Amino acid sequence: MNTEPAYFTRVDGVFQPTEFALSLWAPNTLSGPPVCGLMAREVEAHYCTDGFVPSRLTVDLHRAVPAVPLTAESSVTRDGKRVRAVALVLRSGTEVVARGSALLLKRSTQPPGEVWRPDRERPLPPPEALATVEDALHLFGSDGHAQGWSVRMTEHQNDTRKRKWMRNIPVVAGEASSPFCFAAMTGEQTSLVTNWGTEGIGFINTDVSITFSRMPIGVEMGLEAESHLSDDGIAAGAAVLYDAEGAFGICTTTALANEHRQLSGTAIDRKTDEFVAATADRER
């Protein structure tokens, strides 16, 4: 076990996945959040200069990323006065195992006039709920749950709007991850909150695109389903990223039916229990 919960350890520029990075969909593969977090880290390490900030991160998840040592590469595809575009690649040795892209925009002033905005306030977990769980545990929420939030996914296995409050672990052990990295990992959960129903999650996402109007305040943040559309085994979903100050991003995803590997809330609850047990072992 690692002494610090994190998705990767890093030695000489190579990222070694930890047990926390493993997927529940298939053995010896990575879950989506570590992949998105590693790409976000690459963007922030090299391109957030001269007033440019991330405005979009897109990650293609066309295949399962193997749980093997990885390297991250990137290149600028456009570098203008106000727009900077970046291509991202994760490799296992010489093999490309994941691709993505990022768009960075330069900060400026707001234009004049008023624009319509949704006035709905996003639900925040009460402090007493956060105080009862481990710092790195997520909280699940749904409109059909009397108390609003809990760490047990099975308590929200219904057909109402879903949300999740994320308290992510760092991308790389020994490094403090940024709010941008945490938002990238949170946004990857769009498929979970938009495709989660009475029988668990029956769709597996093939991509995620996260757009930002600003960077989040702090490292804890929420993700709330905005829409779900599906026909003939293909789903499209959208969710809103928000923090204590309100909404700051929109996430979209496409997904394919994966009925032979339906992911139940029970499996995720089991993963939560394993994390709690691992944390207790480290503290002994």
H/E/C letters for each residue in 184-232? Answer: HHHHCCHHHHHHEECCEECEEEEEEEEEECCCCCCCCEEEEEEEEEEEC
pLDDT at 282: 62
- Higher-pLDDT residue of 63 and 77 is 77
Evaluate if residue 284 carries a pLDDT over 80: no
pLDDT at 272: 83
- Per-residue pLDDT at 66 exceeds 70: yes
Place of tokens 């293909």: 234
Q: Is the pLDDT of residue 43 over 70?
A: yes
Task: Indicate whether 99 belongs to any domain.
Answer: yes
Q: What is the CATH number of the domain that holds 210?
A: 2.40.160.210
Q: Is the pLDDT of residue 48 over 80?
A: yes
The DSSP string of 105-127 is EE---PPSS------PPPP---H
**Residue 206 has what pLDDT?**
94
Using the predicted structure, report yes or no on whether residue 1 has a pLDDT greater than 50. Answer: no
- When pLDDT is averaged across residues 109-131 and rounded to a whole number, the result is 90
Q: Please give the average per-residue pLDDT across 60-67, as a whole number.
A: 92
Separation CA 88–CA 33 (nearest Å): 16
| Band (270; pLDDT cuts 50, 70, 90) | confident
Tell which residue, 234, 224, 240, has the closest CA to residue 254: 234
Mean pLDDT of 68-88: 98
**pTM for this prediction:** 0.92
Residue 234 has pLDDT above 80, yes or no: yes
Binned at pLDDT 50, 70 and 90, residue 280 comes out as low
- Return the higher-pLDDT residue of 134 and 149: 149
The boundaries of the domain holding residue 130 are: 8-107+125-281
Examine residue 115 and state whether it is found in any structural domain, yes or no: no
Residue 92 lies in a domain: yes
Kindly tell me if the per-residue pLDDT of 31 is higher than 90: yes
Of all residues in the chain, the percent with pLDDT exceeding 70 is: 96
Structural domain total, the chain:
1
Mean pLDDT, the chain, as a whole number? 92
Domain-located, residue 136: yes
Strands of 95-106's sheet, edge to edge?
A: 71-79, 83-92, 95-106, 52-60, 203-212, 246-257, 234-243, 221-231, 162-166, 139-142, 149-150
Read off φ and ψ for residue 221, nearest 5 degrees: -160, 165
What local confidence, expressed as pLDDT, does residue 260 receive?
77
* Confidence grade of residue 212 (pLDDT, cut at 50, 70, 90): very high
Q: Are 103 and 85 in contact (CB under 8 A)?
A: yes
Assess if residue 35 is contained within a domain: yes
What is the SS3 assignment for 114?
A: coil
Give the pLDDT mean for 36-54.
Answer: 97
pLDDT tens, residue by residue, 124-140: 998 888 887 887 889 99
